[in-house]
């Protein structure tokens, strides 16, 4: 089991009798990009919320690196190296792009809560921040006020701030949602690039994105696992096609959920 970084057993979440996630067994391999897909209402976001402990499971277990983390709080999950993109999103629109990434870099330094100290004490983080910005093609925007960035660039900044937290497992929740074709292509390649040496678990609706970068796919429908495998097998699975498109003909090529 050494190659499995995250595993769930019987993961279930009920809301007043409604079963949003039902007995989900998930195994994410270390170093892979693992996609969680499914029609609207399939339970994908609820599953993410369970993994990051924004919700407590009704029953079931979550293991990370072989350790039972089912009872951990969200802050403990983050300290273990499980970082979800929106948790450290660029929520400071009046700061520069560089300053946003620098905030993510503060945690390991112990400077996070030193609000009374001069901003110059953070200059030691500038070099690493610029390296991260270069990694996501934002180097030229380092001194740009974040609020003025185009939407696609803001999503790239979210990935940079996620990387600043030095994640062992990155959870990306619909990273290309709302983007035009050019931005989708850019962010897709970006995810592929930053995944080297890391593990990524992502919820994504765009099947074109999934087909290009996912090593493994888990399909959820009505809260349960419907199918698993690589894109070639999942896209031709009759149960998956029925869930997505109401037909068992053809395949999912280019479809959106």
Per-residue pLDDT tens digits for 114-127 = 444 445 556 778 99
Residues comprising the chain, all counted: 257
- One domain for residues 143 and 173: no
Domain end among 145, 166, 187: 166
Please report the pLDDT score of residue 122 as a whole number. 67
Q: What percent of the chain has pLDDT over 90?
A: 61
- One domain for residues 46 and 21: yes
- One domain for residues 100 and 183: no
- One domain for residues 118 and 135: yes
Contact predicate 126/102, CB 8 Å = yes
Domain end among 166, 199, 233: 166
Q: Which domain holds residue 34?
A: 1-81+169-257
- One domain for residues 67 and 100: no
- One domain for residues 159 and 189: no
pLDDT of 167 over the 50 cut: yes
Predicted TM-score of the model (pTM): 0.87
From 109, 155, 151, 156, select the one nearest 128 (Cα to Cα).
109
Backbone torsions φ then ψ of 253, nearest 5 degrees = -45, 115
- One domain for residues 196 and 119: no
Domain end among 115, 141, 166: 166
- One domain for residues 125 and 249: no
Please report the pLDDT score of residue 115 as a whole number. 46
- One domain for residues 159 and 177: no
Contact predicate 55/12, CB 8 Å = no
Contact predicate 234/217, CB 8 Å = yes
Span 80-86, average pLDDT? 87
Buried b (16+ CB within 10 A) or exposed e, 117-144: eeeeebeebeeebbebbebbbbeebbee
pLDDT of 247 over the 90 cut: no
Q: For position 5, which CATH number holds?
A: 3.40.50.300
CA 27 – CA 46 distance, rounded (Å): 17
Span 247-255, average pLDDT? 51
Q: Please identify which residue in the block is written with the tokens 């995810």.
A: 191
Contacts of 229 (CB under 8 A, 6+ apart): 216, 217, 237
25-29, 78-82, 154-158 — most confident range: 25-29
Please report the pLDDT score of residue 35 as a whole number. 96
Q: Structural domain tally of the chain?
A: 2
Please report the pLDDT score of residue 17 as a whole number. 86
Contact predicate 50/14, CB 8 Å = no
Please report the pLDDT score of residue 252 as a whole number. 57
pLDDT of 58 over the 60 cut: yes
pLDDT of 245 over the 70 cut: no
- One domain for residues 47 and 109: no
- One domain for residues 71 and 100: no
pLDDT of 22 over the 90 cut: yes
pLDDT of 223 over the 90 cut: yes
- One domain for residues 73 and 108: no
């Amino acid at each position: 089991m050494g190659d499995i970084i995250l595993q769930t057993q019987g993961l279930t979440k009920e809301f007043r009798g409604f079963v949003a996630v039902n007995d989900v067994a998930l195994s994410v391999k270390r170093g892979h990009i693992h996609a969680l897909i499914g029609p609207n209402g399939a339970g994908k976001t609820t599953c993410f919320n369970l993994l990051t402990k924004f919700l407590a499971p009704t029953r079931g277990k979550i293991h990370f690196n072989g350790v039972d983390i089912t009872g951990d709080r969200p802050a403990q999950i983050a300290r273990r190296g499980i970082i979800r993109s929106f948790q450290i999103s660029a929520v400071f629109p009046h700061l520069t792009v560089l300053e946003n990434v620098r905030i993510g870099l503060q945690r390991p330094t112990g400077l996070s809560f030193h609000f009374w100290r001069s901003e110059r004490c953070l200059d030691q983080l500038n070099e690493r921040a610029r390296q991260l910005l270069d990694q996501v093609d934002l180097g030229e925007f380092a001194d740009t006020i974040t609020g003025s960035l185009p939407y696609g660039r803001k999503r790239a900044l979210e990935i940079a701030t996620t990387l600043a937290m030095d994640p062992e497992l990155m959870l990306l929740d619909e990273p290309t949602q709302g983007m035009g074709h050019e931005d989708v292509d850019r962010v897709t390649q970006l995810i592929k690039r930053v995944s080297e040496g890391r593990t990524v678990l992502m919820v994504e609706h765009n099947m074109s994105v999934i087909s290009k970068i996912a090593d493994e796919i888990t399909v959820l429908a009505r809260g349960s696992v419907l199918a698993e495998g690589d894109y070639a097998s999942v896209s031709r699975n009759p149960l998956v096609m029925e869930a997505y498109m109401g037909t068992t003909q053809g395949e999912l090529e280019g479809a959106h959920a």
